[in-house]
Structures are given as structure tokens and as C-alpha cells.
Structure 1
Amino acid sequence: MTEQNALADLIARYATSDGTHATAIPRLSLIRMSTPTEPIHALHEPALCIVVQGRKQVMLGDRIYRYGPEQYLVVSVDVPIVGQVTEASPGEPYLCFRLDLDPGVLGALIMEAGLDSGASDNPGAGLCLDPVTPELLSAASRLVTLLAAPRDAPILAPLAEREILYRLLTGSQAPRLREIAHAESKLQQVNRAIGWIKRNYDKPFRIDNVAQEARMSASALHQHFKAVTAMSPLQYQKQLRLQEARRLILGQAMDAATAGHNVGYDSPSQFSREYSRLFGAPPIRDIARMRAAPESAALI
């Protein structure tokens, strides 16, 4: 049995229904879908995603990332994305291993292993794909296997997680991973700007305020923010506003006008236009569609 098949069998054993399944192991989630999905909008946090069966595409701004079992995805900052499972069936469901990335664990491992932690002046995109290796799959399988050993997991799971991170830190995407843990990297400066926007998404902002938070000039912030997120700070804020409004309408049965006002829109008509532009339908029609496919809503 190949390492890919072994990990697929483990994920299928513990993710027995469609959706995203949190596990007893910190930061580890398993995902299963038995049919292709509609595009799903979400804020994706830093994570490693390994698809072992089926295929998926993720859109970040105007960039599209298509991948399956031959590649893994690394997300290095919080980014608004559109994800879609493109290949899945009841007989061969989409199966995915997801491990959220902890900057503290990464930083400690970089120091302990004596790896170069120098920061780049030109951060890359917040999403990247790289060929998966048997060693990475084997380490991921060992982590999932510990779900059957709750007595052993608290001791052994951190070791398996460290091996996974070590494989990433010594692979071709190592510079990007190291930037996650480097406090003064350009990536982390952009991340500080992202954090400010997330905390103040419902308020107007001046770019100078965000640049001050990032400790960059306004022009440098625009340049690096666009390189990492494929959008401007203002576009990023708009996506956060609209995703939060959608959550309020879907999860709290809030009417569209109130939801729009709560996330910072003064004009209901502007809110409806921008909502339709992002999600492909006005709020009422969009929410009806979401409620018809609740498994997909929890996919990312």
C-alpha cells in the first residue's frame, strides 16, 4: 500500500460523513466530501492541506490554485479565498488532511534545528503548492494514527507534528514557512496589517493607519500586501465585511439591511450590489442556496 493510500484509508476511517471534522489532536482536521461542491467563500487561516483523494481548486484574488494528491497546499497568512471541490464521488470521496500552522511551534523548531531564519524582502503569495513527498505523507499518517491511541497522543502527537513541520522547513517552500515564524519578516509585517483590518473591518480606515500598524510606508504596504494576498487592503476589508455579513444572515437569521449596517455599510443598495458581485446572487437567494447545501458551508 502506498503512503497516499494509507493516509486516505485513515482519513476515511475517522471522517465518515461529509464536512470538516475537528479531531482530539490539536490543530488537526480531516475533511471529506462525496460530491463536487459549489464555490465556498471563507477566510483561510495558516495551514498545511494534503489532498489524498479527489481534487480541489482555490482562488485567491485573481489567482487560481488547482491541486490533488500530487501536491500539498500551504497557506501562510489569513486570506479570503474561494474554495471548491472539483472531483469527488460516493465511491471515491474527496479526502483531505489539514494541519493548522502554529508560528510558535515553527519558531522553536527552526531554532532547535539550526535552520536559517533570515527574512526575505520579497514575500511570495499567501498560498503556494509544492509536490508531496512520501516522507511527508508518512509523517501525516503517523499523526492521524494516534487518533486511535488517546493515551499516547498527548506525548507522541507533538513529535509527529514536529516531523511534518520539519519536512516542510527543509523542502522547497522553506523560506515561506520560515517567514511565518520571523517577527520582522515582510510577511509578518503584512500579517500585522491583516490583523488590524480584521479587528477594524467594520470601520472606515486610512491606509496610513494600517501602514503604521505594519511598520511600513503606505507604498511598501500596498506592494507587499498585494503580493501576499492578491488584493489591496481595501479589497481585503471588503471581502471580510461581506463574508461576515453572510455569516450573520445565515447563522443569526439577520435581515440583509441590518447585517450590512453591522459590518460597516451605510447604503443598503451598495451592500446588496457588492454582495451580489462577490457571491453571485442577492442575499436572499444566496442564503437559500447555502441552506440547501449545509455540508459545503463547513468545508474550508
Structure 2
Amino acid sequence: MLITSGNSMIQSLADTAFAYGRREGDHDTSIPDLTLHIRNTPTEPLHCIYTLSLSLILQGSKQVAIDDRLRICSAGQSMLTTFDLPVISHVTEATRYHPFIGLVLKLDYGLIAQTCTELNLERPSKDLRYQAISTQDIDTGLCDAMSRLLGLHLTPEYIESLAQLYKKEIVIRLLHGSHGMHLRHLASVGSPSRQIVQIVAWMKQNFAQAIGINELADKAHMSASAFRQHFKALTGSSPLQYLKHLRLQEARDQMLLNGLDASQASGVVGYESPSQFSREYSRLFGLPPQKDIQRLRQA
């Protein structure tokens, strides 16, 4: 059964989440892989990378841009990300008295694949229009499972024994629910999406290396043209453009969190030319590295 944003289950979960962390910001919870996000005002569009995860929007609204596609997710809706994607995200509805509240559960690919095998679910149709990000209304079962998972912070002695069981229940409900076919597509043995997922995992670990499209295609056991086509269908960008986003986002994090200057950060992520790094950084984030980091710190 689907539920609306005004439903008492959503409101109860929002109250529980807000009681957990009333301060504006991003909060790690005592439950592994579960984070809480609160905003008192709308935010500026921010370049970031969404990973394999489930988000529940409990209050307010957010907007996510992927290439030229737009996703709007409002209170009472869930957003499933089945692929690591560079996106532009911002909160569009939030006030001090009615803040944006979102829960994000990082999902485990191994658990998804294992659960698919155990349930012996049918594979998605080849005609399925796969979506790396899908938005759906939250159903009562998913809301209840997430409530029990978050509620474990009140009985920390049960987190180790029960959290993984609740996470598996959430995966089962996702596989059977309106997000299900997209998640099943991800886990399908031999499907192009699975091969692309493996390549992206490799790229995230080796983004500083110089590598061309042919080498990436070889790793995926595809022709260069097929690899480029499947990659763009899943991510909305070319493989090399995606790699560039990974490098620039990592460089931004290194400058913001670890205090590196632009020259140091460009070298860490594999740029040989600091001037090229600065040009591409400005093109993606709208400001030169130093001014962008100053703006983020002030914000």
C-alpha cells in the first residue's frame, strides 16, 4: 500500500529522525550505513556523486539533475540510486519550522545479488527502460522496515544482531516493490549494467591513472562502441567525462576537507597540467578552485 506525505507513518518516522539529530547538517547514525540529512533552508545546487543507496524524503523536497534529466523527490517519496552517478543536487523546500528531513541507507551490492538468487526472481525484460535513479511513493512495508532500523538507536545492544536483518528485509521489499525491476536489472548475471558497475568500481579506485576508452572497454569485455553506448545509457555521460567528474569531485574534497591547494589536488587526482585542471574545474563547478573552496567554506 502506498502512503502520502501526510500519512501518520511518514510523520512518525520524520519525528523519530528529527529527534535523533535536530541540528541542521548531515548526521551519521549509530546504525552502519544509515545517515540523516536536515536542512532549514533551500540549498544551492551542489555537484556530488550519488552511490548505490535508498533515500526516503520525510519532509520538504529536493531536486536532482543528471545530465539533461531532472528528478524531483518530495515528502513521502523514495529515491533509489542503483549506480554511482555524478549529479547536481539541491534542497528546494525547507524552513526552520518545517525542515527538510531525509534518510539515506547505503545499499550493498553483494546483499542485493545474494537476495535475488535466494528469491529466484525472474529477470527483468530486455525491453525494460533501465533507470539508474528512480523515484516512487513510499509504501507502508518499506516505511515500517526503515522505522524499525532507525529505532535500533534506542536499543544499541540489538544493532549488531538485528540491523543486517532489517537491511535485508528492506532489500527484499525493494526487489518486490515498484523499484524492483531496476534493482533486479543491476543484479542480473551477465547484464551490461553489471559489467558497467564493475568498471565504475574500478574507476573509483584508479581514477588517477591515465586510461583510454579502449582499455576500459577491454576490461568490460565489450567493443569500444558497445561499451560507450551502455555506459552513457546508465550514467548519462561518456566514460571519459565520467572519469573527469570523479577526478574533479575528489580534488574538490581534498581541497575542502584536507586543506590541499589546487596544484597539490590536481596532482593527486592525475592531472599533469595545473592550468588544464583549473579550466576544467571552473567549467564544472562555475568558479576557479580557490574561489569555489572559499564559497563552500563560507556556506
Q: TM-score, normalised by structure 2?
A: 0.91
Give the share of equivalent positions with the same residue, in percent.
41
Q: CA-atom RMSD, angstroms?
A: 1.9
Q: What's the CA shift for 1:238? A: 0.8
Q: How many pairs does the alignment contain?
A: 293
Matched, 1:289 2:295: yes
Matched, 1:93 2:99: yes
Matched, 1:222 2:228: yes
Q: Trace 1:69-84 onto structure 2 (pairs within 5 A).
A: 69-84=75-90
Q: Trace 1:1-300 onto structure 2 (pairs within 5 A).
A: 2-117=8-123, 120=126, 124-293=130-299
Amino acid at match of 2:78: Y
Distance in 2 of aligned mates of 1:266 and 1:167: 47
Q: Deviations over 1:261-297 (max 9, x none)?
A: 332223332222211111111111111111012xxxx
Note if contact 1:120-1:185 (Cα within 8 Å) is conserved in structure 2. Answer: no
Distance in 1 of aligned mates of 2:76 and 2:222: 38
Note if contact 2:26-2:37 (Cα within 8 Å) is conserved in structure 1. Answer: yes
Note if contact 1:56-1:85 (Cα within 8 Å) is conserved in structure 2. Answer: yes
Distance in 2 of aligned mates of 1:193 and 1:279: 25
Q: What's the CA shift for 1:16? A: 2.0
Change (3 A) 1:257 1:123: farther
Change (3 A) 1:26 1:262: closer
- Unaligned stretches of 5+ residues in structure 2: 1-6
* 3-state SS of paired residue (1:24): coil
Note if contact 2:130-2:185 (Cα within 8 Å) is conserved in structure 1. Answer: no
* 3-state SS of paired residue (1:152): helix
Distance in 1 of aligned mates of 2:121 and 2:35: 28
Distance in 2 of aligned mates of 1:153 and 1:193: 33
Aligned twin of 2:4? none
Distance in 1 of aligned mates of 2:123 and 2:19: 38
Distance in 2 of aligned mates of 1:119 and 1:249: 44
Q: What's the CA shift for 1:67? A: 0.8
Distance in 1 of aligned mates of 2:31 and 2:125: 31
- Unaligned stretches of 5+ residues in structure 1: 294-300
Q: TM-score, normalised by structure 1?
A: 0.91
Q: What's the CA shift for 1:169? A: 0.5
Q: What's the CA shift for 1:90? A: 1.1
Taking CA–CA contacts closer than 8 Å with sequence separation of 6 or more, which of the two structures ends up with the larger relative contact order?
Answer: 1
Return 277-286 or 145-154, whichever deviates more.
145-154
Q: What's the CA shift for 1:72? A: 1.0
Change (3 A) 1:104 1:193: closer
Distance in 2 of aligned mates of 1:251 and 1:159: 34
Return 282-291 or 104-113, whichever deviates more.
104-113
Q: Structure 1 stretches (4+) deviating beyond 6 angstroms? A: none
Return 117-126 or 47-56, whichever deviates more.
117-126
Q: Deviations over 1:68-104 (max 9, x none)?
A: 1232111111111221111111111111111111122
Note if contact 1:54-1:87 (Cα within 8 Å) is conserved in structure 2. Answer: yes
Change (3 A) 1:148 1:243: same
Aligned twin of 1:297? none
Note if contact 2:10-2:76 (Cα within 8 Å) is conserved in structure 1. Answer: no
